[in-house]
Chain A
């Protein structure tokens, strides 16, 4: 069958070589000669070889034209394709554990070999999917037909293990979302080292989605040992002694040395004792400020990525600033006393009036406490707003001055009722009705229900607010709100005896202390793990840049102004530059990844049998076992042959003409 039969008219062109060859036979090249006087006609016998060459050249030219014409006519041949075997079609999901522990020994090599073997073993009707899993699950190559195995192999070659942690629970519970529902029967080939520390708290989280058969591909080894640096920091007994804690077990018959480097200079070496997982480095005098400490274990073991540990050490007391209408007011004094009573962390407390604020100074404080935010000037509000967006932490109360405004400064809440705040209708006090005692700031929540609130500023919670405490009328008393990279706790009643008796309640000191600890901890976080979200503290107005441990810029140009967070992907020191300062954040591998203990065999067995009883219908498949009849176009092959003949023809023609010319001089 031909798709474009009109092109067959081109077959008339075959007459051209026929005519040319006949013409060439009749018109042989005449050679001029001075005189035929001495010549006589000869009986000429053409050789058989020459005749064959002549005919071959003619056939070659005709074949060339024939192929070109046929190629343009687009011939198709009926082709019975093999049945798709849709009944047996299976989606093979190859999930590679790319967490840190997979870099131990030969695990990663074995994992790649297993993945390759799985790809090679797929049937033609099957589909393949390649996924990596660590702190994030990435679909590297979506479902492709097994006939395109090359795509899967190419995608597999591009995968590298990371330093992040994998939680099996996260992987399995999220599987149904990235696998989709419209899929054929699925085999979930999970290539992992079956690390004990990767199992979730609830074993049920390991259950695969419905219709998915889990096949665990174990690449771990039972006798793997690993030793890693767990932490480095000042000793509890001596601030000038740094204590390095080591976890795991050392390789047998290996003596390991701990090397401490502070701010790029080696400060000491200690040989680890087999029985003591600590190494103390006394006499490390560090001046005030931020210091970068790095600990390395030598010689490296089979998982060298966790033999280094990075830490940012702060040699200064975090400071808290209490802001009020009057720096000597009762509310400011109360807050200063409560924050100052905190022992862990110990905060240096400063007090100031709302009119003496400067933005640069705010950046030095770990947390701010604003008493009645309504007293702030516009400039002060803007300064605190930038501080918050850059990752700062603020506890603020609403008071009489706040109640006079329609919109609360900093938080942006709308005041529901005007005037000086709500009073209870019966004139009595309102009490707390609901508390989110899981919040870190409310761990010591006993006593809240005994506090009486005579007045408060009624505000409407915003959609992304976290209401931590509600009063009996349902109005919020304590709200947590995120602004940029910062956190804001809003207490809708001030520290004023006319509004409540919180100040005289024992709860007050505990609450302020816990809130300050929570805000300080969340704001600082200079040490974190791979896969965590880092607060960059880059404000939208100031901008800045983040450099990863390799010195490469992390933020794209569009993100340099106002990217509040980024995910740490590499082990080492991240540097955050912006707002006239430079901060360091130490990123280490999650210590749980360094624990190479394997899941107990019983757990593995249970996980293997943890299948949903009713598999999902394979509604993505269409049963069709009949051979498919298709039309296969062959014009590319014809064109390929024609091109080949086009290269051969000049060679043959040249040989033929060479014989005809036949002159030797």
Chain B
């Protein structure tokens, strides 16, 4: 039975009904893979690229011993994206990620996204690591492609709950201790921080060769807040309150939000990182497809 494109889209509401995070990830990934018609360019490092001469430090496991036997030269197999094989998923679990105006919160959506990325990587036997942070690192799982590592990542994601404030700058300073080897770093956060400070914190990672990808997760209630009357907002992280008029939300807030998104995008671009805005009401497979298309273009 051929499903219509609309039916293939897995809405966050549907995924929220699945209790098992692995099932969520598998459903989302398999769903969008079917939509890609088995595209050959879907992985991180699947494709064979070239042979190159062995240099010190290369993993001897990748030496092509058959060629060595014939030519007595040591070559190693090179794969496209070989340098990005390690996937670090950095999940922001601060209190602000618990915001929810629709079916799922930003944290839930981020967890689905992280699980789907992890599943996608492990499907290609790439090591997957996980760091859950708010104002400090709450959970760390080093990258591993061993059997059972995916379940470990998924279990860690599953047990993640909203924490306290966010301190991206401080956390990224610590990430460098854990991410000595290059890899793909997927940052899933609502990025409520100063773009300049963010740039300052993330730049060292970019300079060490990490391919950084920001998933800017935002709720529709944040992007398009609609209130008929004045409302007393309470900051979910600081607890501060502020009474805001609907007129402000419709005009000035929208303007400031766009400025912030633009600032974040510029900051990411300045450090060579990619940024993708993910709305929590967007179907997950569509977000993944957008991500892969985005990766393909760059």
Contact among B222, B228, B241 for A34, CB-based, below 8 A: B222
* B190: A residues at CB distance < 8 A: 34-35
List B residues 199-258 near A (Cβ within 8 Å). 219, 222, 226-238, 240-245, 247-248, 252-253, 256-257
Please give me the residue from chain B that is nearest to A27 by CB atom: B232
A37 B234 Cβ-Cβ under 8 A: no
**A24 nearest CB across to chain B (Å):** 13
Given A31-B234, A34-B192, A662-B227: A41 and B96 interface contact (C-beta under 8 Å): no
Indicate whether B289 reaches chain A with its CB closer than 8 angstroms: no
Indicate whether A40 reaches chain B with its CB closer than 8 angstroms: yes
Indicate whether B86 reaches chain A with its CB closer than 8 angstroms: no
Indicate whether B101 reaches chain A with its CB closer than 8 angstroms: yes
* B101: A residues at CB distance < 8 A: 665
How distant is the Cα of A41 from the Cα of B233 in the complex, in angstroms?
A: 10
* A28: B residues at CB distance < 8 A: 232
Indicate whether B111 reaches chain A with its CB closer than 8 angstroms: no
Contact among B235, B245, B257, B260 for A36, CB-based, below 8 A: B235
Indicate whether A602 reaches chain B with its CB closer than 8 angstroms: no
Indicate whether B279 reaches chain A with its CB closer than 8 angstroms: no
A41 B240 Cβ-Cβ under 8 A: no
**B131 nearest CB across to chain A (Å):** 21
A35 B236 Cβ-Cβ under 8 A: yes
Given A42-B230, A662-B231: A34 and B247 interface contact (C-beta under 8 Å): no
Please give me the residue from chain B that is nearest to A42 by CB atom: B245
How distant is the Cα of A664 from the Cα of B252 in the complex, in angstroms?
A: 20
Indicate whether A29 reaches chain B with its CB closer than 8 angstroms: yes
A41 B242 Cβ-Cβ under 8 A: yes
* A30: B residues at CB distance < 8 A: 232-234, 241
**B70 nearest CB across to chain A (Å):** 62
* A37: B residues at CB distance < 8 A: 192, 260
List A residues 637-665 near B (Cβ within 8 Å). 659-660, 662-665
* B226: A residues at CB distance < 8 A: 664-665
A32 B234 Cβ-Cβ under 8 A: yes
* A285: B residues at CB distance < 8 A: none
Indicate whether B99 reaches chain A with its CB closer than 8 angstroms: yes
B233 A39 Cβ-Cβ under 8 A: yes
Please give me the residue from chain A that is nearest to B95 by CB atom: A34
Contact among B96, B243, B245, B247 for A35, CB-based, below 8 A: B96
**A268 nearest CB across to chain B (Å):** 91
* A36: B residues at CB distance < 8 A: 233, 235, 238, 240, 242
List B residues 83-113 near A (Cβ within 8 Å). 96-97, 99, 101, 106
Please give me the residue from chain B that is nearest to A37 by CB atom: B192
Given A30-B241, A34-B99: A42 and B192 interface contact (C-beta under 8 Å): no
How distant is the Cα of A457 from the Cα of B192 in the complex, in angstroms?
A: 135
A32 B243 Cβ-Cβ under 8 A: no
* B230: A residues at CB distance < 8 A: 42, 44, 46
How distant is the Cα of A441 from the Cα of B7 in the complex, in angstroms?
A: 113
Please give me the residue from chain B that is nearest to A28 by CB atom: B232
**A665 nearest CB across to chain B (Å):** 7
How distant is the Cα of A39 from the Cα of B101 in the complex, in angstroms?
A: 17
B252-290 CB contact bits vs A (8 Å, 1 = yes)? 110011001000000000000000000000000000000
B237 A41 Cβ-Cβ under 8 A: no
How distant is the Cα of A37 from the Cα of B229 in the complex, in angstroms?
A: 21
Indicate whether A558 reaches chain B with its CB closer than 8 angstroms: no
How distant is the Cα of A30 from the Cα of B234 in the complex, in angstroms?
A: 6
**B63 nearest CB across to chain A (Å):** 51
B247 A662 Cβ-Cβ under 8 A: no
How many CB-defined contacts (below 8 Å) exist between A and B?
82
B229 A659 Cβ-Cβ under 8 A: yes
Total chain A interface residues with beta-carbon distance under 8 A: 24
B244 A41 Cβ-Cβ under 8 A: yes
A40 B231 Cβ-Cβ under 8 A: no
List A residues 1-53 near B (Cβ within 8 Å). 28-44, 46
A40 B252 Cβ-Cβ under 8 A: yes
A32 B231 Cβ-Cβ under 8 A: no
**A176 nearest CB across to chain B (Å):** 84
Contact among B96, B236, B244 for A39, CB-based, below 8 A: B244
**A152 nearest CB across to chain B (Å):** 63
How distant is the Cα of A46 from the Cα of B230 in the complex, in angstroms?
A: 9
A31 B233 Cβ-Cβ under 8 A: yes
B253 A32 Cβ-Cβ under 8 A: no
Please give me the residue from chain A that is nearest to B234 by CB atom: A30
* B236: A residues at CB distance < 8 A: 32-35
Contact among B227, B241, B245, B260 for A43, CB-based, below 8 A: B245
**B194 nearest CB across to chain A (Å):** 9
List B residues 101-128 near A (Cβ within 8 Å). 101, 106
* A41: B residues at CB distance < 8 A: 242-244
* B222: A residues at CB distance < 8 A: 33-34
**B60 nearest CB across to chain A (Å):** 49
* A33: B residues at CB distance < 8 A: 99, 222, 233-236
* A42: B residues at CB distance < 8 A: 230, 243-245, 247-248
* B219: A residues at CB distance < 8 A: 34
List A residues 329-358 near B (Cβ within 8 Å). none
**B267 nearest CB across to chain A (Å):** 15
* A39: B residues at CB distance < 8 A: 233, 242, 244, 248, 253
Of A34, A43, A665, which is in contact with the most chain B CB atoms at under 10 Å from its CB?
Answer: A34
Contacts A33-B236, A42-B245 aside, 18 further interface pairs with beta carbons under 8 A come to A30-B233, A32-B99, A32-B234, A34-B99, A35-B96, A35-B235, A35-B237, A36-B233, A36-B235, A38-B253, A39-B233, A39-B248, A40-B242, A41-B244, A44-B245, A659-B229, A662-B227, A664-B226
Q: Which residues of B contact A (CB under 8 A)?
A: 96-97, 99, 101, 106, 190, 192, 219, 222, 226-238, 240-245, 247-248, 252-253, 256-257, 260
List 30 contacting pairs A-B, 8 Å CB cutoff, sorted by A.
Answer: A28-B232, A30-B232, A30-B234, A31-B232, A31-B234, A33-B222, A33-B233, A34-B96, A34-B99, A34-B106, A34-B219, A34-B236, A35-B96, A36-B238, A37-B260, A38-B257, A39-B244, A39-B248, A39-B253, A40-B248, A41-B244, A42-B243, A42-B244, A42-B245, A44-B230, A660-B229, A662-B231, A663-B228, A664-B228, A665-B226
- Top 9 closest pairs, chain A to chain B, by CB: A42-B245, A662-B229, A34-B99, A33-B233, A35-B192, A34-B96, A30-B234, A662-B228, A44-B230
